[in-house]
Structure 1
Amino acid sequence: MRKTWVLLVSLLLVVSTASADIDNFRTAKQKLKEEVYFDQARGSEGTFYCGCDWRWVGESGGRVNRASCGYETRAQENRAERTEWEHVVPAWVMGHQRQCWQEGGRRNCRSSDPVFRVMEADPHNLVPTVGEANADRSNYQFGMIPGEPRVYGQCDFEVDFKERVVEPRPEVRGRIARTYFYIHDRYNLRMSRQQQQLMMAWHKEYPVTAWERERDARIARMVGHNNPFVTGEKSWRLGHKNSGAGLKGIAGGMQTKAGVEPEGSIIIRGNRNSKIYHLPVGCPSYDRISSHNIVKFVTEAEARAAGYRKAGNCR
């Protein structure tokens, strides 16, 4: 009887551990290395944006084999040598729709908002990338860039820094779409119509792969739930009604910022008096414009066409 009881308790502990969301970014990275990507560093799909092999170093990082994918450094040698964990849906996209972000940015959200901590650490949204590609992606939205302006050697990863747009390689576009669906549905985030249409097109053109299914299954064993857009349990259509499943049972789950713009839509603010525009990241005065003076733009090109110039204090 005692052995049976011990076995039952052990099984319950395993189930309870596997069905709990992770609320620590560091822990998520470690578990992804140990339980999901442990056999993916060489001879597999490689790093997310460029398909490079790597070797594990430390708790959750890696050293990139740039020759394996023909990667050429654009500007940041140190970050080009290492892997980093990329949020497919950027932390800014998830955070700026939370009240905590308006009161102190990412650091404040980490310390005060349990929902943000779960979103930031959600393994379904994390992938290993070349660090420089992670840095250059920043919080830019995904899109299609005319031509093939490659600056990373053979890596098919394109960045339009002026328009703040990234075009990923075709092999990962479907995965990006299904991750966007998942994060927005699970945490009740708003997505612009334009971004929805792009993701729906990518989802249709690039179906679920065998590795994507395997990755999803491994993560589900960690956290207790799949990405339903990978398994086919859910589909996304324009006007999709979010489930908000990831907010249930978490204190402060519904404390979103009222009136926030959808991800991928209006993110640039111009000052109608000064004719200067500010970006949400790198421009200290972005949140200092009086509400009655704010003019909103989708792209920097649109702002410049309207006669606005970029703030001089933007980094």
Structure 2
Amino acid sequence: MLKKIIFIILFFSIFNIQNFKYTFSSEFRQNNFNQAKKFAIKISKKFPKSFYCGCTINWNGKKGIPDLKSCNYKIRKNRIRANRIEWDHIVPAWEFGHNKKCWKKGGRKKCSSNSIFKKMESDLHNLQPAIGEINGDRSNFSFYEWKKNHKKNFYGSCHVLIDFKNKKIEPPNSKKGIISRTYLYMSYRYKIKIPKKQMILFKKWNSKYPVNKWECQRDNLIYKIQGNHNQYVHNKCIKIPK
């Protein structure tokens, strides 16, 4: 009886994975940010938590609503954005776009027809569901790590520390490894120049905060959609016992 139950579970698991792969791989084109967000939502539904704060996300079509009570989130200022999910580019669009001619002529909008920029903008490995207020406050600030936890925490139990004056942000420890591996991937794949001090920090975080199971699952889901792994995640996932 037990063998029969295990067989049924495995059968439907394989069926669902194959169906997931077929549905996505035949539709996705890595050249449209709005389309990328639709696929990012489908991935997020497998693990419906906001990136920085770990709030439960309730998805209603394209609209993601964070349950702020689930993570003891305190609204700093912007109530409207605090109550919606937005897609945060871990490596900001400014960082991979500001040196391009199109950006210099008119910012992000002017790069909407640049094929390389669109590819980077819609890369699913670089997109994370974040509380809108955090996304807005972070802007294109650089990730940083203070020696002492002296910066003010604006968001209740969500330990995101922002220095607005110096335009720097320190994420929760639980996200530092993910952020580092995203930066390393984007830098390598698209030849994005990252400041030396930042790269030293990301290599440190990559070593100190290892890959977790959801990172591995997410990387595999993106592979089935977009057709490529984040090698800084995938190569370590191979070594993790299933």
* TM exceeding 0.5: yes
Aligned to 1:157, which of 157, 160, 175? 160
Task: State the 1:20 CA deviation.
Answer: 6.3
Write the distance in 1 (CA, Å) between the matches of 2:81 and 2:69.
15
Aligned to 2:183, which of 180, 185, 189? 180
Q: State yes or no: 1:127 paired with 2:135.
A: no
CA RMSD of aligned residues (A): 1.9
Q: State yes or no: 1:56 paired with 2:59.
A: yes
Q: State yes or no: 1:31 paired with 2:39.
A: yes
Amino acid in the other structure paired with 2:166? E
* Contact 1:18–1:223 under 8 Å retained in 2: no
Q: State yes or no: 1:168 paired with 2:168.
A: no
Task: State the 1:39 CA deviation.
Answer: 2.5
User: Which structure has the larger Rg?
Assistant: 1
* Contact 1:97–1:189 under 8 Å retained in 2: no
What is residue 305 of structure 1 aligned with on the other side? none
Q: State yes or no: 1:65 paired with 2:67.
A: yes
Compared with structure 1, are the counterparts of its residues 152 and 16 closer, same or farther at alpha carbon in structure 2 (3 Å cutoff)?
A: closer
* Contact 1:140–1:164 under 8 Å retained in 2: yes
**What's the % identity of the aligned pairs?**
38
Task: State the 1:31 CA deviation.
Answer: 0.8
* Contact 2:24–2:224 under 8 Å retained in 1: no
Aligned-partner SS, 1:144: coil
* Contact 1:21–1:122 under 8 Å retained in 2: no
Compared with structure 1, are the counterparts of its residues 150 and 91 closer, same or farther at alpha carbon in structure 2 (3 Å cutoff)?
A: same
Q: State yes or no: 1:40 paired with 2:47.
A: yes
Q: Which runs of 5+ in 1 are unaligned?
A: 1-13, 234-315
Compared with structure 1, are the counterparts of its residues 19 and 79 closer, same or farther at alpha carbon in structure 2 (3 Å cutoff)?
A: closer
Aligned-partner SS, 1:190: coil
* Contact 2:25–2:224 under 8 Å retained in 1: no
* Contact 2:24–2:225 under 8 Å retained in 1: no
Write the distance in 1 (CA, Å) between the matches of 2:86 and 2:66.
10
Aligned to 1:108, which of 103, 107, 110? 110
- 1:182-197 → structure 2 map (5 Å cutoff): 182-197=185-200
Amino acid in the other structure paired with 1:73? I
Aligned to 2:80, which of 78, 101, 122? 78
Task: State the 1:148 CA deviation.
Answer: 4.5
Q: Which runs of 5+ in 2 are unaligned?
A: 1-21, 237-242
Task: State the 1:17 CA deviation.
Answer: 3.9
Write the distance in 1 (CA, Å) between the matches of 2:136 and 2:37.
17
Compared with structure 1, are the counterparts of its residues 15 and 73 closer, same or farther at alpha carbon in structure 2 (3 Å cutoff)?
A: closer
- 1:207-246 → structure 2 map (5 Å cutoff): 207-232=210-235
Task: State the 1:19 CA deviation.
Answer: 9.8
Write the distance in 2 (CA, Å) between the matches of 1:165 and 1:69.
23
* Contact 2:159–2:172 under 8 Å retained in 1: yes
Task: State the 1:97 CA deviation.
Answer: 2.4
Task: State the 1:89 CA deviation.
Answer: 0.2
Amino acid in the other structure paired with 2:123? D
Amino acid in the other structure paired with 2:135? N
What is residue 139 of structure 1 aligned with on the other side? 140
Aligned-partner SS, 1:89: coil
Write the distance in 2 (CA, Å) between the matches of 1:16 and 1:220.
10
Q: Which moved more, 1:84-93 or 1:97-106?
A: 97-106
What TM-score, normalized by structure 1, do the two folds share? 0.65
Q: Which moved more, 1:21-30 or 1:166-175?
A: 21-30
* Contact 1:69–1:155 under 8 Å retained in 2: yes
* Contact 1:19–1:223 under 8 Å retained in 2: no
Higher relative contact order (CA 8 A, sep 6+): 2
* Contact 1:18–1:221 under 8 Å retained in 2: no
* Contact 1:100–1:109 under 8 Å retained in 2: yes
Encode CA deviations 1:68-120: one digit per residue, 9 max, x unaligned.
0000000000000111110000000011122211112100101x201111111
Compared with structure 1, are the counterparts of its residues 86 and 16 closer, same or farther at alpha carbon in structure 2 (3 Å cutoff)?
A: closer
